[in-house]
Amino acid sequence: MLFFCPSCGNILIIEEDTNCHRFTCNTCPYISKIRRKISTKTFPRLKEVDHVLGGKAAWENVDSTDAECPTCGHKRAYFMQIQTRSADEPMTTFYKCCNHECNHTWRD
């Protein structure tokens, strides 16, 4: 909350006096003691975080390959490749277990 000088219109600053705090103006002699505490808190609403791989929709039309799931040992997994680093680095391969009870995801 900003307060402005009623005399010249400049923004007031807060100074500590010997027994209290006060508003003072840097350009004119205006001074006003602070008689009560004025404070407000507003917390920003956090943005909803998107899933890095696009959520469930990203896995709808992907191919499967021979890969063993490290969690359940199933021998087949869906896979997709995404460029996660700079263009001169290789693509990252993400896997999702074909066993619908497991659905474990991992990367290579």
Please tell me whether 20 is known to bind a ligand: no
Residue percentage of the chain with pLDDT more than 90: 38
User: Could you tell me the CATH number of the domain that includes residue 2?
Assistant: 2.20.25.10
Please tell me whether 69 is known to bind a ligand: yes
- 65-84 pLDDT, tens digit per residue, is 999 999 999 999 999 988 88
Please tell me whether 102 is known to bind a ligand: yes
Give residue 52's pLDDT.
66
Does residue 47 form part of some domain? no
Q: Give me the chain's average pLDDT, please.
A: 86
Name the stretches of the chain with pLDDT < 70.
1-2, 38, 49-53
Instruction: Kindly list the distances between the CA atom of residue 52 and the CA atoms of 43, 84, 103, in Å, as whole numbers in the listed order.
Output: 26, 10, 16
Does residue 48 form part of some domain? no
Residue 84, domain extent: 56-107
**Total structural domains within the chain:** 2
Give residue 1's pLDDT.
55
Please tell me whether 25 is known to bind a ligand: yes
